[in-house]
Structure 1
C-alpha cells in the first residue's frame, strides 16, 4: 500500500471546503494532505488508521486529523461484498490553519483553537459527542458565506472545549514526521498496516526498508521509541479490540484474525498492552 498525497487546494473561492461523501464504501487509500481535516461519520463502520494508531469507527463519530498526518478509513468487509446495499457517508471539512488570516487563530480570543490544532497533529477522536453538535455540522455543510464561517468557528469552539477525547497517533510517530526520513517511514508503516494480520517478520519489513535487520531494528526503535515487535503487537491488539467489540468472533477467532498464531501469546500480549485480559475487556465494554 503506497502513501498518496491528495491535492485539496481547490477550495472554490472559500476559506475552507465542506463535502458530504456518500459511497458504497470509503476510499481505501493511505494518504495525507497539508490541510487539517474534520471528519464526521454519519453512516458506516470499520477501522481508521491514523499515523500508527488503529481505531474502530462507527456512526456519529468525529475525528480531527492534523496536517500531513497519514490516515485511511477502511470499512468492514461487509461493505465490499457484492450486492451489499450498504452506505458509507461522512462529512469532510478541510481547512488551512491560516484560512482566516495568517494570525487569526493566534489572537488571545482564538488561542484555544490554536491549541486544538496543535493536538490534532496526533489525530483526535472526540468521545461521547452530543448529537446536537453533529446536527450543527450538518447544518453548516448546507450554509454559505458569513453564516457558514460563523458556524464553522462555533463548531471548532465546541470541539476545543470538549473534555473527552483520545489522541490516536503516538508521540514517536508524530516526531518522525518532522525529520527527513518520512519517505522510508511511510513505506514501512504502509507495509505494516497492509500486512499486520498476516505472518510478517522483522526481516520482511527490513527488506521493504532496504536495510539489514540489525540496522533496521536500531532505526525503528530510534524513531518510534519502541521495538518493531512491540509496535506490531500494538497494531494487532488495537485491531483485536475492534473485532471483540463487533461481537462477530469469539476470542480464539479474534486471536487468529488479528495476526497471532496461538491463543496463549495473544492473551499475554493483550494483557501487557491493555492491562486486562480479552474476556475482561469485553465484559467491561458490555457493562
Structure 2
C-alpha cells in the first residue's frame, strides 16, 4: 500500500475546482491540503478514510477535511457503465475568509470543521446533489461561486450522516510530521493481518516504545493500539457485511489470533457481536 502527499492546485482565478473524472482502481492512500467532496457517479469498491475502512457504491458522497489520509479502491467493474466520480477541491483557508465569517454561513463553517474526520452523507435521493455537482463541473465565473453556495446549502440540509474516522488528525501537526506518520500508516496497513508489534512500529521512527507512543497520541489524539484496533474492526465489519466467510476466518483475516478476543473487542467497538452485526445485512 503506497502513501502519497498530493498537491492539489486550485487555479488562482477561481476558489475551487469541480471535475468529473474516471474512477480508477487505486491502492494509493494519499492526502492533500485542500478540502475534497467526492461523489461516486458509478462504480463500487472500498473506501479508506483515516482509520475507517468501508465500502462505497453509486451515490456515495463524502466530504474530507485537509490532510486526512484517504483512498477509493475500485473492487468491481461494470462493463455496461464506466466507473466515474465528481470531485470538488476547495482551499483549506476558506473557513478563515471574510466572506465565510457571515452569520448566515455559520452552519457551513461548522460542517467544514467536522470534515476533519470525513463525513459520509446518507442521501436516499441524490438527484438534486448530482445535478448541482454536474452543473458545477461545467460552470464558470460568478455562476461557479453561486453553485458552490448551492452545494453547501444542500449539504447542511442532510440530517443523516456519519463521521468516518476517529479524531486522529490534527491538520497542522500532521502536516509537519506527514512523512513520519505515513511510515507508520504504511506499516499498519501492510501488516494488519500478520500482526502489529509496537517494537517494530517504534523502530520505523527510530524511537523507544515510550517516545513513539507519546508521539503518536500527541499527533492523532488516540493511542497507537487503539488506532490498530479501529483498523481491524473496520476490516471485520466489511467482511461480515459483504462476504459469507466464517466468523472464525474473519477473525484471523482482521488480525486477531483468537475468537474470544475478537468477539470482545468487536462488541466494545460496534455494540453487538459479530454474528448479530452480520444479521443486519441478511
**CA positional deviation for 1:205:** 1.2
Written as runs of structure 1 = structure 2, the 5 A alignment for 1:152-171 is: 152-171=148-167
Query: Which moved further from structure 2: 209-218 or 238-247?
Result: 209-218
Stretches of structure 2 lacking an aligned partner (at least 5 in a row): none
Contact 2:6 2:30 in 1 (8 A): yes
Q: Which deviations, in whole Å up to 9, do the C-alpha atoms of 1:29-50 show, x marking residues without a partner?
A: 2222221110001222222222
Question: 1:64 maps to what in 2?
Answer: 63
Question: What CA distance in whole angstroms lies between the structure 2 residues aligned with 1:112 and 1:233?
Answer: 33
Contact 1:6 1:31 in 2 (8 A): yes
1:234 correspondence with 2:230: yes
Contact 2:180 2:205 in 1 (8 A): yes
Q: What SS does the corresponding residue of 1:135 show, helix, strand or coil?
A: helix
Question: What CA distance in whole angstroms lies between the structure 1 residues aligned with 2:24 and 2:4?
Answer: 21
Q: Which deviations, in whole Å up to 9, do the C-alpha atoms of 1:153-179 show, x marking residues without a partner?
A: 1111111232221112222x1237536
Q: Which deviations, in whole Å up to 9, do the C-alpha atoms of 1:49-107 show, x marking residues without a partner?
A: 2223333222211100112222222233x56xxx9898432111011155699311111
Q: What SS does the corresponding residue of 1:30 show, helix, strand or coil?
A: strand
Distance 1:152 1:261, change over 3 A: same
TM-score by length of 1: 0.85
Contact 1:15 1:100 in 2 (8 A): no
Question: 1:51 maps to what in 2?
Answer: 50
Stretches of structure 1 lacking an aligned partner (at least 5 in a row): none
TM-score by length of 2: 0.86
1:91 correspondence with 2:90: no
Question: What CA distance in whole angstroms lies between the structure 2 residues aligned with 1:20 and 1:197?
Answer: 35
Q: What SS does the corresponding residue of 2:280 show, helix, strand or coil?
A: helix
Written as runs of structure 1 = structure 2, the 5 A alignment for 1:132-281 is: 132=127, 133-171=129-167, 173-175=168-170, 177-178=172-173, 180-281=176-277
Written as runs of structure 1 = structure 2, the 5 A alignment for 1:105-116 is: 105-116=100-111
Question: What CA distance in whole angstroms lies between the structure 2 residues aligned with 1:216 and 1:151?
Answer: 45
